[in-house]
Amino acid sequence: MNVTAESITFTSDDVASNVSLILGEVADTASGIDYSQVSRLADKINGAERVFLTGAGRSGLALRMAAMRLMHLGKTVHVAGDTTTPAISAGDLLVVASGSGTTSGVVKAAQTALAAGAQLAAITTNSTSPLAGLADAVVVITAAQKTDHVSNISRQYSGSLFEQSLFLVTEAVFHTLWGATDEPAEQLWLRHANLE
């Protein structure tokens, strides 16, 4: 029998099963995170003069979302590689994410930031990676790396669990920082882009 993509139909049960899979894996992974590591990340962000963020691929996209939330809080924040991103220097913090902790561009950015006198916070699955070894603060997310296709840690494809958990961690940091202010949501919204 020759099955084509056009001949396949999906049921709501198919989708519900996958939603359940994703939610279960994220919940299990989140419960294994050392929240003292996340609170240290929040402290580092709170104390930095400026916050820079970088990661490759989907990890980088998740950090772009975090950058927006930090901007909403009134932080001076930049995404590395954007055309208007200034030089990093002492007093600044670079937040990096790499599941493997070995992504060459991310490790190079970390080394550059440290050489400039900035501090470094890393979010990774690999506590013994070169990236983790450089960092002042490390958040370890126990998730399968994107090239681990036979792991029993996750049934999801290629690093999805790490990226989902990365988003969760950065949202928790945002809400922790916001909770320490007396700013209502309406005040944060005034900082939202108005040239959309």
pLDDT higher at 191 or 3:
191
**Secondary structure of 15-44 in the HEC alphabet?**
HHHHHHHHHHHHHHHHHCCCHHHHHHHHHH
Alpha-carbon distances of 106 from 13, 60, 119, 164, rounded to whole Å: 40, 10, 14, 19
> Of all residues in the chain, what percent carry a pLDDT higher than 70?
95
pLDDT of residue 159: 87
CA 33 to chain centre: 14
Is the pLDDT assigned to residue 5 strictly greater than 80?
A: no
CA 126 to chain centre: 14
Is the pLDDT assigned to residue 181 strictly greater than 70?
A: yes
CATH 3.40.50.10490 assigned to 34-187: yes
**Residues whose CB falls within 8 Å of the CB of residue 191, separated by 6 or more in sequence, listed in order:** 71, 72, 74
Residues recognised as catalytic: 163
pLDDT tens digits, one per residue of 75-125: 999 999 999 999 999 999 999 999 999 999 999 999 999 999 999 999 999
Q: Is the pTM of this model over 0.85?
A: yes
Nearest-angstrom CA–CA distance, 112 and 117: 9
Is the pLDDT assigned to residue 130 strictly greater than 80?
A: yes
The overall average pLDDT reported for the chain is 94
Is the pLDDT assigned to residue 53 strictly greater than 70?
A: yes
pLDDT of residue 80: 97
What's the average model confidence in pLDDT over 166-188?
A: 97
Nearest-angstrom CA–CA distance, 99 and 170: 15
Whether the CB-CB separation of 28 and 159 falls below 8 Å is answered with no
pLDDT of residue 158: 76
> Given pLDDT bands bounded at 50, 70 and 90, which one contains residue 150?
low
Alpha-carbon distances of 173 from 25, 48, 123, rounded to whole Å: 20, 14, 12
Terminal alpha carbon distance of the chain: 50
Is the pLDDT assigned to residue 145 strictly greater than 70?
A: no
Of the listed ranges 90-99, 131-140, 158-167, the one predicted with least confidence:
158-167
Whether the CB-CB separation of 101 and 125 falls below 8 Å is answered with yes
Nearest-angstrom CA–CA distance, 19 and 24: 8
